Structure 1
Amino acid sequence: METHAFQAETQKLLDLMIHSLYSNKEVFLRELISNASDALDRRRFEALSNPALAPDGPLEIQLIADRPARTLTIADNGIGMTREELVQNLGTIARSGTLEFVKRAQPGKEGDAAPDLIGQFGVGFYASFMVADEVDVVSRRAGEDGAARWTSKGLGEYGLDQASRDEAGTTIRLSLKAVDGDAGIADFCDEWVLRQVVKKYSDFVAYPIRLTIVEAASDGDAEAALPERREVEAPLNSMKAIWTRPEGEVEESDYAEFYRHITHDFQDPMLRVQTSIEGTFEARALLYVPSKAPFDLYHRERLHNGVQLYVRRVFIMDECRELLPEWLRFVRGVVDAEDLSLNVSREMLQQDRQIQTIRKHLVKKLVDRLKQLAKDDREEYEKFWAEFGPVLKEGLLDFSEKRDRIFDLVLAPSSKEPGKLVSLADYVDRMPEDQEAIYYIAGPRLDVLRRSPHLEAFEEKGIEVLFLTDPVDEVWTSQGPVTYRDKPFKSIGHGEVELGSEADREQAKAALEKDEEIYGDLLAALRAAIQDDVKEVRLSSRLKGSASCLVLEEGDLSPQLEAMLRQAGQAIPERKPILELNPKHAVLEKLGARFAASPTDPLIADAARLLLGQAVIAGGGQLEDPAEFTAIVNRLMTDVL
């Protein structure tokens, strides 16, 4: 037998399992049964295109509890593994989630109150070491002649050897630890215990789970040396496709268990949608929205399962991305179509009209259900928004979607009610009659946005402004004219600000023109001092308390979006912001007096740099030359003190 060392990450994982912080160690059986079910799914699917891979008998999962030997065996006649696949799947972990699992599952951090991280991070096989001193795996790949054995005690190494197996599939034999109720190790050779665990976690598995009990020979038996084998006649699981049953016939606890079965998420889902399509073709769906976002929700190559596709109760694929748009990728569940081909490919799915119809139906049902949740239970909906809001807003980037139905779901903080979220519908409903746009300001930090100088004129007029803080907000707001209920979105940091009635605007314009006559030469001098950094220096009608702020031209990209595009490798044309100054601020008034007395005063250039720098800081940006800014501040402090 060859001996190999585990990867460092794998050994850390095994150490966590061996000294497990989980009290419900019974989840190991759920994970092994789930793996067996996946192997059976795969064999059945591959046999559709290669009949030689079909098994001689029915696909099933066998549990063999040997009480005298204290072993539990989980066997299947699924697709099986080659020697190389045993090493790849069991000897190493080439998964990005492994280190994240180890980090989040450290003792003392989350403990038993944590969600079921084992299933969530796809490391379920290793849960075997919570209850076993040694794990022995024999597997034979369908279509191959030879078998291989993998064995380990979880102590830094594993062994590999040749083996024999009559048919394709995998057999996992666990040498069980002693029963220890305090440590959560039940008697997993006991029929009642196994029945309860299977019923609890695996009742909906589509293949029969059969149980054989091996007992010590009865006293007085002439063949006392031979143990007795007893096969439990009926499967331990019901194998009922829960999505085919009317909602009134299914208990909520059964829906929750089915969710756990397909997702390995031990928390209850936030909501459930069960629906069907009838007419020219038939399909059923059972969908769930999780309570928490998966750790890999924003990873390019995600590990989560999405929506499973079945055809007439036959499993086809685990993650059918064609059934839902990317902005609903957090949804879990199953879709069962009656009229698709069992040999359907991903390429065929992309063009299939039935799939497109199912997709539209599911999107509508999910959006309607979320709207209903927002109406009936705002607190619960805000929890949903905190987890999945940024992903949902990705749908605003897809022009094939109806944007308004996504806008109906959007929540955002606003200047009107600190600490609360407002819907776009509520915002529009309470807009003053003469307000022409939905005003917003975007940036990564809410606290910075709340103190932005750009807000001052709006607060003075009592006009509500939305705060958009997710990176995706920078993108969808930049994609041409965006409207909701015929009201355009308008950034308060772009272009000119025109508020109030026509008379108010004319009055503000006249006042600004008068101030420009007073400060025209000063503005030219300030512009000359910082012409490499700004496009223009002008007086502002939006500032009321602050001395300066930076604004962009209509259509200019924000600094945050520019940074995102540069990180993506895109070339960004150079653009300069506009520095706006408050003509009523004491700083500008005194600066004007000093300029009038001495137009060549070097303080004018320093003041230009300071006004620009404080505008950058107030906008949440970073100074290009902090050392220069500090030197100017020190010079002014020296003159004043």
Structure 2
Amino acid sequence: AKTITVSDNGIGMDLQELADNLGTIARSGTKAFLEQLAENERKASNLIGQFGFGFYSAFMNADQIEVVSLKAGTDKAFIWKSDGKTGFDIEPAVRAGFGTDVIIHVNEEGEEFLSRWRLEELLKRYSNHIAWPIHLVSKEKTYAKDPAKAETKIVDEQVNSASALWRRPKSELSDKDYIDFYKSLTGDEKDPLLWIHTKAEGTIEYSSLLYIPSHVPADLYIPTHEQGIKLYVKRVFITDRELQILPPYFRFVRGIIDSDDLPLNVSREMLQHNRVMMTIQQATLKKLFGELEQLAETNSEKFNTFISLFNPQIKEGILSDWANRDSLLKLVRFKSTAVEGWTSLADYKARAGENRKTIYFLTGENEARLRASPLLEAFSEKGIEVLLGTDEIDELTFSGIGEFEGMQFKNVQQVDAEDELGASNAKDEHEKEGKKAIDILKRVLGERVKDVRLSKRLDKRPTCVVFDKDEPTPAFRKLMERLTNEPVPESKPILEINAGHPLVKKIVTLDTRKELSGGDIDVVQELEDLAYVLFYEAMMAEGEHFDVPHDFGDRLNRLLAKAS
């Protein structure tokens, strides 16, 4: 027979209770029983029935359902029968002990549930943590070469853990308990970085156990309907799909939220507008921010590990979650020219002093390249700290923050970032030659540059490139191309020169030789090569590419050959 039988050794039902509880749609026997209990007894009961529809849902996959029950303290069992269409019958029956058997005669639509593996998967997914053990008993055939020797055996296995670790007091749990549960929950072989266990009591009661992984999850950047947080109601799994319990930038967080105050028959739409769910979401997010802020204060090593893993997601939150912006600004970290490791915006402000009203930053793909950028020379010389952003999102992050406690953000790659540096570094004896070099470089480089000017930033390097404040920097352009999958027009750079540098002086010398020689081809070539190499070098220092990459190599090789 194609049947599934659900048996328990509970208190059972008598004739009248079978008729009342199963013969009346939308009447919950569980709810009626709970109403007779005191408040503290209800909380400890672990009973979940409420609306009286759960039993009738079985008819979606059944031709007939039989319920055999013997009530505790009585000696007469009864069987309730119905096809779900023509009413029901109740007759005397025989049962060996107290309790109830629900026998489902499965129809064609429900045949998938006759598979032991399908039932086990459903039980583990939805009922793994309910308080009572669930045994799956089935008849399994053993296979042999000779079909006549094949046997059928009874397999009886407990398929649920029958415990909800998150509901136990923290004082009863060890680190190993938390770590083992994390691994069973997520399938992750590595230990979590940290966990946050909360049991909220009061108007709304819920338990939560959140984990932060010790590595970046493989699916962090893969769009999915699943989230890292599983929602339970009274230990029964409800969903991990589509419902956004935490903001998207916390999608790396794994864990469980379980509440007795939510209805079991919830839908995604209901939860989105459910007052209890909204309160739980807000409290959970507040707790998560608080724990991370405390971690930053008490365990800098572990917090720095968190930042190295999930700093981009914190920056993502700064750009998308205005309501929690202040909390996110406390957590976000950047590299800096003033200190080793990570630094916060608050620490930058403290080091800058009350008189400085600007936070300077520079973005790019590589920290080592940023630290070696010629743009930083004068800032370092004057003791002005510059934040370094190597995450792809940093260009948007700095512009998205805009202002932090009265300090404005400014990209040192933009032309107006030099205002605080004072006058040009060109000494009087070099300024005349510098102006000549400007005219020469404008003539040679032509449309490749927007302008050539004397630099306030350079001390050791001959050249650097900057951009007008209203034009996108290379890092911003690359980010926009990735986000839109469309080409973004390149901004023409402004070439700044160090008038006192020997290579800049040589530009003037070569131009003079060209004039005296009547335009000697070798001198003209050397002048052009040097001008382009200085330009290319400045572009390379900021991580820019060239339309014709080999042109730089060809010109550099000619100059090296000339000098040898």
User: Would you call these one fold, judging by a TM-score over 0.5?
Assistant: yes
Which moved further from structure 2: 338-347 or 547-556?
Answer: 338-347
Residue 469 of structure 1: how far off its partner (Å): 0.9
CA distance in 1, matches of 2:436, 2:450: 17
1:562 to 462, 477, 491: 477
TM-fit CA distance, 1:614 = 0.6
Contact 2:229 2:255 (C-alpha < 8 Å) held by counterparts: yes
Partner of 1:296: 219
Contact kept? 1:415, 1:450, Cα under 8 Å: yes
| CA contact 1:390–1:470 (8 Å) conserved in 2 | yes
| Partner residue in 1 for 2:364 | 443
Q: Are 2:187 and 1:267 equivalent residues in the alignment? A: no
Q: Give the stretch that moved more between structures: 599-608 or 401-410.
A: 599-608
1:327-476 aligned within 5 A: 327-418=249-340, 420-476=341-397
**Structure with greater Cα Rg:** 2
**TM-fit CA distance, 1:471:** 1.1
Work out whether residues 290 and 331 of structure 1, in 8 Å CA contact, stay in contact via their aligned partners in 2: yes
1:227–1:297 Cα change, 3 Å? closer
Q: Following the alignment from structure 1 to structure 2, what is the Cα–Cα distance between the partners of residues 523 and 391?
A: 44
**Quick one: which amino acid aligns to residue 329 of structure 2?**
F
Partner SS, residue 304 of structure 2 = helix
1:52 alignment partner in structure 2 = 59
Match of 2:239 among 304, 317, 320: 317
Hey, what does 1:590 align to over in structure 2?
506
8 Å Cα contact 1:523-1:537 kept in structure 2: yes
Q: Which residue of 2 aligns with 1:23?
A: none
Matched positions, count: 452
Q: Is the 8 A contact 1:441 1:465 kept in 2?
A: yes
Query: For 2:409, which of 484, 489, 492 is the aligned residue?
Result: 489
Change (3 A) 1:545 1:239: same
Counterpart of 1:572 in 2: which secondary structure?
coil
Q: In 1, are the aligned partners of 2:436 and 2:508 still within 8 Å (CA)?
A: no
Distance in 1 of aligned mates of 2:476 and 2:56: 47
Q: CA deviation at 1:534?
A: 1.8
Residue pairs, 1:171-320, within 5 angstroms = 171-172=116-117, 204=129, 208-210=133-135, 239-277=162-200, 281-301=204-224, 305-319=227-241
Which residues in structure 2 correspond to 1:518-533 (within 5 Å)?
518-533=433-448
Q: More deviation in 589-598 or 202-211?
A: 202-211
| TM-score, normalised with respect to structure 2 | 0.70
Q: Secondary structure at the match of 1:544?
A: coil
Aligned-pair CA distance for 1:548: 0.9
Name the Cα RMSD after superposition.
Answer: 3.9
The answer to whether the 8 Å contact 2:424/2:455 transfers is no
Asked whether the 8 Å contact 1:547–1:587 carries over to 2, the reply is: yes
Partners of 1:48 and 1:444 in 2: CA distance: 59
> 1:194-239 CA deviation, whole Å, 9 max, x = no partner?
xxxxxxxx9846663427799xxxxxxxxxx99997979xx68662
Deviation per residue, 1:353-398 (Å, 9 max, x gap): 4433332222221111112112222112222222222222211211
| Correspondence for 2:455 | 540
| Residue 630 (structure 1) aligns with | 553
Instruction: Give the 3 Å change call, closer, same or farther, for CA 171–312 of structure 1 in structure 2.
Output: closer
Kindly tell me: are residues 292 and 538 of structure 1, through their superposed partners in 2, closer, same or farther at Cα, counting changes over 3 Å?
A: same
- Specify the code of the residue in structure 2 equivalent to 1:465: V
Letter in 1 for 2:414: H
Q: Residue 141 of structure 1 contacts residue 147 of structure 1 at CA under 8 Å; is this kept in 2?
A: no
Q: Within 1, Cα distance between the matches of 2:438 and 2:495?
A: 10
Work out whether residues 306 and 321 of structure 1, in 8 Å CA contact, stay in contact via their aligned partners in 2: no
Q: Counterparts of 2:529 and 2:173 in 1: how far apart (Å)?
A: 74
Residue 564 of structure 1: CA displacement? 3.1
Do the aligned residues in 2 keep the contact of 1:550 with 1:616 (CA within 8 Å)? Answer: yes
User: Is the CA contact (8 Å cut-off) linking 1:306 and 1:319 kept in structure 2?
Assistant: no
Query: Which gives a bigger RCO, structure 1 or 2 (Cα 8 Å, sep 6+)?
Result: 1
TM-score calculated relative to the size of structure 1: 0.62
Whether contact under 8 Å (1:204, 1:239) holds in the other structure is yes
For the 8 Å contact 1:244–1:284, the answer to whether it is kept is yes
- 1:594-613 mapped onto 2 (5 Å cutoff): 594-596=510-512, 598=514, 602=524, 603-613=526-536
Q: CA deviation at 1:532?
A: 2.3
Bigger CA drift: 553-562 or 530-539?
553-562
